[in-house]
A = this chain, B = another copy of it.
Amino acid sequence: MALELNKEFFENLRNSIENKDSELAVSLLKEMHPADIAEFFEEINIDDAKFLFILLEPEIAADVIVEIEDEERGKLLESLPNEIIAEQLIEKMDSDDAADILGYLDDERSEEILGHIKDLEQAGDIVDLLNYDEDSAGGLMAKELVAINENLTVKQALGEMRDQAEDIDEIYYLYVVDDNNILKGTIALKDLLFSSTNKKILSIFDPDVISVKTDVDGEEVAQIMEKYDLVAIPVIDGIGRLVGRITIDDVVDVIREEAEEDYQLMSGITEDVDFSDSVFRQSRSRIPWLLIGMVGGIAGSLILGLFESDIEKYAVLALFLPLIVATGGNAGVQSSAIVVQGLSSGDIDLHSMWKKLWKEFKVGLLNGFVCSIIIFLYNLIFSSNFALTLTVSLSLFAVIIFATVFGTFVPLVLNRFKIDPAIATGPFITTSNDIIGIFIYLIIARSIFGIIL
C-alpha cells in the first residue's frame, strides 16, 4: 500500500514516463493511493502528469483531481474536453468536491461542463452548492447522505439505506427526517443493525442532534465539531430541512487553513504561499509587509529627526534605541497573539473588554517592572551615565506597559468591527509599537537629560 512505496518504485515510475511505457505505468499507478498520485503529480512537470493522468481509471482520476493543488489541477483540466471532465470525473465525485472544482473554473466553462452531466439530480445538487459562500457551512457540505423517514420500520429503513448508500463512501450516521424533510434526529448504523426489524424508527432514534444552518461560518462549524467530537454534522436550511452534511475531513482542512492564515499574517505574509512557490510569487507575498514596515521606519526617522539635536549632544542615547524598540515590539506581539488565538479557538468571550485590558495592564506592569529593574542594574554597573540609566529603565517600563495593552486592544477592536483580528499581529503591531516606543523614549530622555545634566 501507499506508505510502503520506496525510492526504487518512484524511479521505475519516472522511467516509465521517460520511455512512454504505458503498460508499466498503469501497473505502477495501480499500487498507488490517489493522494500519493496527486502528490507525485505536483513534483513532476505538467506534460508528464498528463501522460499519467490519461492512464488512470475514471474513479481514481476523479480522486486524484480532488486531491491535487489548484494550480496543477487547472493545468490538467485545461487539456481535457468538457465532455470527458463531466462524464469521467465530475460524475464520479461527491457533490461538494464537484462544486469546489467547478467553482475554480471560469463560469462559462463550468456551465458547459454542467451541461454534459447526465445525472440531472447530481447536476442540480452541484448548482445548489455553487450558490453558497465557499467558507460557509453550505459551501462545505456535500449532498450525499442517508436520510430516513421517521415512520419507517427498521426493516424498511435498511432497504432504504441500501438504495441511498450505494454512492456514499462513509455513512457514519443515518439522519432521521419527517415527511417534510425536517431533521428530527440521528440513528447509528450499529443501533439500526441490532434493533428488531419491526420496530419503528420513531421509537429508537436519538433526537439529540447537533446541526448547523447553511450560513454558519466554516470556522464556527470547525469549533462546533471539535467541541462535540463529531465526525459528521448535518446542515439544515432556515426552516430546519435537512440539506446536506459536512464531514470531518473537510473541517480538518478548514482548521489547518485557518491556523496557516493566522500564522502567515503574524509573520507578515499576505498570500497563501508555500516553499515550492516561485521566487516571484514568494517575493510578491512578502513585499507588502516589508513596505509597510518601512513606512513605519520612515515615520520613526521623522520622529527621531525632531530630536536630532539631543542625539548630537548625547549620542549615547542612540545606543539603547534598538533595545527599547525591540522589547516593545516583542511585548506587543505576545499580547496580540494570545488574543488572536483565544478568538480563533472560541475561548474568549467578547464581553467586558475593559476587564481584559485591565488584566493585560497588570501583566504589562509586572513584565515592565522585571525588565526595567534588570536593565537598571545592568546600566548602573556598566554605564557611568546615570541620566541614561534612568532614561532607559523608565522608558522600557512605559513602553512594555503600553505595548502590552495596545497589543490586546487592537485585535479586540478589529474583532468587534468584524475585521479579522489576525491582521493586527506581526508587522502591524511591531511597527506601531516601534514608532510609539521611539517617541516615549525620546520624550523621557529629553526630560531627564534636561533635569540632570
Q: Is A414 an interface residue (CB 8 A)?
A: no
Q: Give the contacts of A268-311 with B (CB-CB under 8 A).
A: 268-269, 273-276, 279-280, 282-283, 286-287, 289-291, 293-294, 296-298, 300-301, 304-305, 308-309, 311
Shortest beta-carbon distance from A275 to chain B in Å: 4
- CA separation between A308 and B231, bound complex, in Å? 64
Count chain B CB atoms within 10 A of each CB in A209, A256, A308, A400 and give the residue with the most: A256
Q: Tell me whether A345 is interfacial, beta carbon within 8 Å.
A: yes
Tell whether, in the assembled complex, residue B334 and residue A269 are in contact, meaning their CB atoms are under 8 Å apart.
yes
**Contact digits for A354-369, partner B, Cβ 8 Å, 1 yes 0 no:** 0010010011001100
A204 is an interface residue with CB less than 8 A from chain B: no
Whether A228 touches B2, Cβ cut-off 8 Å, given contacts A294-B327, A334-B286, is: yes
Say whether A255 faces chain B, with CB atoms less than 8 Å apart.
yes
B-binding segment of A21-29, A98-106, A312-320? A312-320
* Cβ distance A278 to chain B, nearest Cβ, rounded Å: 9
Beyond A252-B252, A323-B294, whether A330 also contacts B427 by CB under 8 A is yes
Per the bound structure, the CA–CA distance linking A336 and B286 in Å amounts to 12
Q: Is A341 an interface residue (CB 8 A)?
A: yes
A347 part of interface (Cβ distance < 8 Å): yes
Residue from B171, B296, B425 within 8 A of A326 (CB atoms):
B296
A275 touches B347 (CB 8 A): yes
Task: Judge whether A11 is part of the interface by a CB distance below 8 angstroms.
Answer: no
Decide yes or no whether A56 CB sits under 8 A from chain B: no
Query: Is the beta-carbon distance between A323 and B345 smaller than 8 angstroms?
Result: no
Residues of B within 8 A of A249 (CB): 226, 229-231, 248
A162 within 8 A of B: yes
Copies of this chain in its oligomeric complex: 2
Identify which of B280, B290, B315 contacts A312 (C-beta below 8 A): B315
Distance between A385 CB and nearest chain B CB, rounded to angstroms: 12
A419 to chain B, nearest CB (A): 19
Given contacts A194-B162, A337-B267, contact A320 B345 (CB under 8 A): no
Which residues of chain B are near A266, meaning CB under 8 Å?
A: 263, 266-267, 337
Say yes or no for A331: interface residue by CB 8 A criterion. yes
Size of interface on A: residues with Cβ below 8 Å to B: 117
- Taking the nearest CB of chain B, how far is it from the CB of A166, in angstroms? 9
What is the predominant secondary structure among interface residues of chain A facing chain B? Answer: helix
Q: Using A266-B263, A267-B334, A371-B290 as known contacts, say yes or no to A434 and B326 having CB atoms under 8 A apart.
A: yes
In the assembled complex, which residues on chain B have CB atoms less than 8 Å from the CB atom of A127?
A: none
Residue A33 interfacial (CB < 8 Å): yes
Partner of A367, one of B190, B230, B287: B287
Tell me if A1 counts as interface (CB < 8 A to partner B).
Answer: yes
With a CB–CB cut-off of 8 A, which chain B residues contact A333?
Answer: 267-268, 426
Closest beta carbon of chain B to A266's beta carbon, Å: 6
- Chain B residues near A325 (CB, 8 Å)? 322, 325-326
Shortest beta-carbon distance, A54 to chain B, in Å?
A: 23
A430 sits at the interface (CB 8 A):
yes
Digitize A207-225: 1 where CB-to-B-CB distance is under 8 Å, 0 elsewhere: 0111000000000000011
Closest to A296 in B: B326
* A255 cross-chain contacts in B, Cβ below 8 A: 252, 255-256, 259
Contact A252 B248 (CB under 8 A): yes
**A315 CA / B305 CA spacing, docked (Å):** 9
9 extra A-B contacts, CB within 8 A, seeds A231-B231, A286-B363: A3-B210, A259-B259, A263-B266, A266-B266, A267-B336, A273-B338, A297-B322, A301-B322, A321-B322
Instruction: Kindly list the 5 A-B residue pairs having the minimum CB-CB distance in the complex, ordered from nearest.
Output: A297-B323, A267-B337, A259-B259, A318-B318, A275-B342
